[in-house]
Structure 1
């Protein structure tokens, strides 16, 4: 198995992409923070369907972590990640250091409104500014035709789409379906934090959300359905629930029954914070 070409500087990244462009090739970008799993590899597969060359960035972005969050212990496994990308036949891995992405004197941040308001922002106020800034940089550095983001981070996907519309970034953003294990648990790098007992609890997360979405589709009162979902998560063994909310699938405004809907949730299991979301079935 051959690992993909790996570069850690913007100049080397752009040089390789210039060569591909001279040959008339389409380029796809898959931004990641590493600790790759089957969910990430599914994004690579979609990228390969939509473009001739696939670039995967691996960068644990410090600007989207609050001081109290898990930046230092976030799983890092670059060697294994490169092996996985080699098996998936990705073309290039971009693995910059923090100093490459945020050199001395860096002083610019992007702030996105609209879909960033509420949900994650209520608990991680600086998160989406950090996401928007690093995603804008990666798109400008790579200049891809398409970029692939997973629907598991649904609010993030909506924020990235808003970012690219508002700043006229010439890239197509593709949302990829959430990849789940055999029990329905969404693949996540943070699942590595969970022990076997916690995994058994975590695998109830999606079931509760799907039941909640089904009840909304059947006409249940929204507030009552959200409260019941929170109660069921606590009863299942989650330590606390940050939110369970029904939102418009496109704008993330509060959901109305005449619009496509999404139920989004975040909950704590021990010391690990998990997020998930499901669509509200059509009536």
Structure 2
């Protein structure tokens, strides 16, 4: 496995693989890899001849008061995870390699980005779409793999690929959880021991909602109330949002008569965590 830092190096490697008729999978990450990322890389290695993992803390998707500088980084650890999971190439560029000082091009997916996380993070998905589209152009993968924990991001990427006619299959992969139910996240490292225990409230609240839906509740507001009541029972939890939206367009759902995404964002102390599940009729 190789780690490279320039676009030219990536393209040279891809050209060699293409001459051999090999398929290429891509996993885009911001590093500090956990078991969730590892599962994406493993799946990509099972379904493709070669796998590229990008490790890049992308500045364009962070707002002015967000944790760009504090975001955890450990490239040596990441290299170990990638090699173990079956990656063949790591692309770890500097921001100056990815962005020109006078860059003026943006990529925006309207409609899917205004709600959920996009409501409080107005620059986030524009940054995600820009950097992912650049990785797609640099790597030209056959398939790209994204976790379902970032459900809105997955929906946005799928729409961008459709609208811009990228010849890439987008593969969504299930949420990977700790043994106690907490969704794996690079931001979990920010949690103190007490906050780590408190964070279990996210999955517990979603499980109550799932139970209610399985028992026949179809009023979205009543299901949301169940989640909010459970979240409010934890003193360290502060609700950012609780939403139930149509899975296809991410518009708010009221009477649940088609597949919906049940999504939450919660602050545990200063750490913002997200979780979700999809309910299919």
Q: Structure 1 residue 102 and structure 2 residue 89: aligned?
A: no
Q: Distance in 1 between matches of 2:236 and 2:141?
A: 40
Q: Which residue of 2 aligns with 1:233?
A: 231
Verify the 8 A CA contact 2:53 2:89 in the aligned structure 1: yes
Structure 1 residue 66 displacement after superposition: 0.5
Q: Structure 1 residue 177 and structure 2 residue 169: aligned?
A: no
Query: Match for 2:205 among 190, 203, 208?
Result: 208
Q: Distance in 2 between matches of 1:220 and 1:168?
A: 37
Deviates more, 1:30-39 or 1:112-121: 112-121
Q: Deviations over 1:13-61 (max 9, x none)?
A: 0000000000000000000000001100000011012210000000000
Q: Distance in 1 between matches of 2:69 and 2:153?
A: 22
Q: Which residue of 1 aligns with 2:124?
A: 127
Verify the 8 A CA contact 1:263 1:280 in the aligned structure 2: yes
Structure 1 residue 121 displacement after superposition: 1.1
Q: Structure 1 residue 249 and structure 2 residue 247: aligned?
A: yes
Q: Deviations over 1:148-188 (max 9, x none)?
A: 00001000000000000000011000000000000111100
Deviates more, 1:246-255 or 1:115-124: 246-255
Q: Structure 1 residue 37 and structure 2 residue 41: aligned?
A: no
Query: Match for 2:17 among 11, 20, 24?
Result: 20
Q: Distance in 2 between matches of 1:30 and 1:11?
A: 19
Q: Which residue of 2 aligns with 1:143?
A: 140
Q: Which residue of 2 aligns with 1:56?
A: 53
Q: Which residue of 2 aligns with 1:84?
A: 81
Secondary structure at 1:152's aligned position in 2? coil
Q: Which residue of 2 aligns with 1:274?
A: 273
Structure 1 residue 254 displacement after superposition: 2.3
Verify the 8 A CA contact 1:55 1:94 in the aligned structure 2: yes
**Stretches of structure 2 lacking an aligned partner (at least 5 in a row):** none
Q: Structure 1 residues 158 and 281, CA, compared in 2 at 3 Å: closer, same or farther?
A: closer
Verify the 8 A CA contact 2:199 2:237 in the aligned structure 1: no
Q: Structure 1 residues 113 and 214, CA, compared in 2 at 3 Å: closer, same or farther?
A: farther
Verify the 8 A CA contact 1:214 1:281 in the aligned structure 2: no
Q: Deviations over 1:56-99 (max 9, x none)?
A: 00000011100100001000001110111122231000000000
Structure 1 residue 210 displacement after superposition: 2.1
Q: Structure 1 residue 161 and structure 2 residue 158: aligned?
A: yes
Q: Structure 1 residues 281 and 201, CA, compared in 2 at 3 Å: closer, same or farther?
A: farther
Q: Structure 1 residue 73 and structure 2 residue 70: aligned?
A: yes
Verify the 8 A CA contact 1:216 1:222 in the aligned structure 2: no
How does the TM-score come out when normalised to structure 2?
0.96
Structure 1 residue 213 displacement after superposition: 2.8
Q: Distance in 2 between matches of 1:79 and 1:146?
A: 26
Secondary structure at 1:63's aligned position in 2? helix
Q: Distance in 2 between matches of 1:105 and 1:264?
A: 37
Verify the 8 A CA contact 1:248 1:262 in the aligned structure 2: yes
Q: Distance in 1 between matches of 2:262 and 2:105?
A: 33
Structure 1 residue 215 displacement after superposition: 1.4
Verify the 8 A CA contact 1:186 1:276 in the aligned structure 2: yes
How does the TM-score come out when normalised to structure 1?
0.95
Q: Which residue of 1 aligns with 2:7?
A: 10
**Stretches of structure 1 lacking an aligned partner (at least 5 in a row):** none
